[in-house]
Chains A and B, each alone.
Chain A
């Protein structure tokens, strides 16, 4: 239970505060020391991304004429997402679909918002407690690293600390600005 309390301390409100007051590296290191990696959604799939869009830098991005929206993989804040977008599953970028539960732990990416030129820290929380949504699968691995850097690892289920660890979908929540941004 102590550990869960610890996790709670680091979700949402706390995460926001810490992220705003520390560099990204400092933030992740601090989080790692408490063994609460930031982060995100399930199994990371190694699929053929040439068929799917990517965010962040447009690596292999799908050909799109219109500006990407929150249901497109190449929308800016999905730069390190890996899983099913909750925006396609009955939720939004920041809300879980009805009846699902936000993950207690998550991992963090750093994404560039072309609209204001700033880099943001984005927490990729999973929504848990139902089986996989199966819609809008997106997979980018920018700055993703193996599990010895757990805070930026996504070959693992970030619903792992929830009462029901079933993975449903992933939200992408802004938790602060990257270091040096204003």
Chain B
């Protein structure tokens, strides 16, 4: 070190020799301009903005939501979401909502649960709202954290494991109430009014109506519309207007219309033909279905040789059904997906997520469902997607 200190020019010698050799001629370019650091600002969502919920199972304290441009197959950014967060995106795509849990010393201290609102263009935190420390630390299914259709309230599924729903006023950004929903699970928001239904363990629906202050003014139990022992339904809903579609473990499709005074139920129909049944085809996965609303096409994540306990298995194929005619219209190869999403934009796309690889296969929703691209490395334990 002593010698080098005394002769610092020795260090520069190899570089200067190289530079001289490379730029010896008269065509030496102008030096690069000086640069400054800026922060990206996303363009408004275009209908193919994907929000991928990743609960990083190996170290759950720092979950995240990955933001992806589905059409360009480009990673855009991330929102941090804490421990086992419930996540969703506002209907207009402008805000990302989370319900999550923090401890002051990472894993110890007083638990605090909050709703967070993140801006979907800056991916910055806009607001934090304290809620009771009982929100469900559950897989972020579509029906666990749900805004009212007019954007006024946000409904949060609770479990202690006693079940209830927290009501947050998104205008005043305050917790305003809690509704007990014993024995019932999931939040199915109505298109009209401040009303939601929840699926109960006896096969009925409980419908709760709120007043303008977010307080429950009525609770009505429906007739039994499915048999949880013989044909349990997934709580992930597909929505066309006021109609909700639920698929069952054994491949039946239930339609519930959340309109008028109370839910109206249509008799379920089977997605399976006799041959499918022989081969043991069943729905499976986490986000087991997706809906392209304009064409009324339902996509279902399917595996064969199903058995008791296979209801979360990844798919071998994705089956497409025309909901109006109740006919299967396509069988699409799958990337061992567990979750599906469909965009509603012009030239819509079908997304299928394989959580082991963090891989999303992107296909056109068009004849033959041609593959557009494959993205990989989207998170560590990504299981749920939304698209706006």
Contact = CB atoms under 8 A, between A and B. Distances in A.
Interface of A: 3, 32, 35-37, 42-49, 51, 54, 56-57, 59, 80, 105, 129-132, 134, 137, 139-150, 153, 155-157, 159-161, 163-167
Contact of A59 (B59, B101, B137, B310): B310
B381 interface: yes
Q: Is the interface of B mostly helix, strand, loop or mixed?
A: loop
B68 interface: no
B183 A147 contact: no
A156 B55 CA distance: 12
A160 B137 contact: yes
B185 A148 contact: yes
Given A164-B108, A165-B111, A145 B232 contact: yes
Q: Which 3 A-B pairs have the closest CB atoms?
A: A147-B185, A142-B309, A35-B162
Given A35-B182, A46-B314, A165-B83, A3 B107 contact: no
Contacts, number: 157
B272 interface: no
Q: Is the interface of A mostly helix, strand, loop or mixed?
A: loop
A146 B233 contact: yes
B204 to A, nearest CB: 10
Contacts of B99: none
Contacts of A48: 313-314, 336, 354, 356
Given A3-B160, A47-B356, A156 B311 contact: no
Contacts of B137: 42, 156-157, 159-160, 165
Contacts of A157: 84, 137-138
Q: Which of A48, A142, A167: most chain B Cβ within 10 A?
A: A48
Contacts of B184: 148
B103 A148 contact: no
B147 interface: no
24 contacts: A42-B57, A43-B383, A45-B312, A46-B284, A46-B312, A46-B313, A56-B309, A80-B309, A129-B107, A132-B57, A134-B58, A134-B59, A144-B311, A146-B233, A147-B136, A147-B138, A148-B200, A149-B201, A155-B141, A157-B84, A157-B137, A160-B161, A165-B111, A167-B60
Contact of A49 (B185, B313, B354): B313
A59 B308 CA distance: 9
B235 interface: yes
Q: Which of A134, A143, A145: most chain B Cβ within 10 A?
A: A145
Interface in B142-192: 159-163, 182-186
Given A32-B183, A56-B309, A142-B308, A43 B83 contact: no
B55 A43 contact: yes
Interface in B368-386: 381, 383
Contact of A143 (B55, B308, B383): B308
Given A139-B312, A155-B141, 20 more contacts: A35-B160, A42-B57, A42-B84, A45-B312, A46-B355, A47-B338, A48-B336, A130-B107, A132-B57, A137-B57, A141-B310, A144-B311, A146-B185, A147-B136, A147-B159, A149-B232, A150-B159, A150-B185, A157-B84, A165-B101
Contact of B57 (A45, A54, A150, A153): A45
Contacts of B23: none
Given A131-B60, A134-B59, A141 B161 contact: no
B286 interface: yes
Contacts of B70: none
Contacts of B310: 59, 141
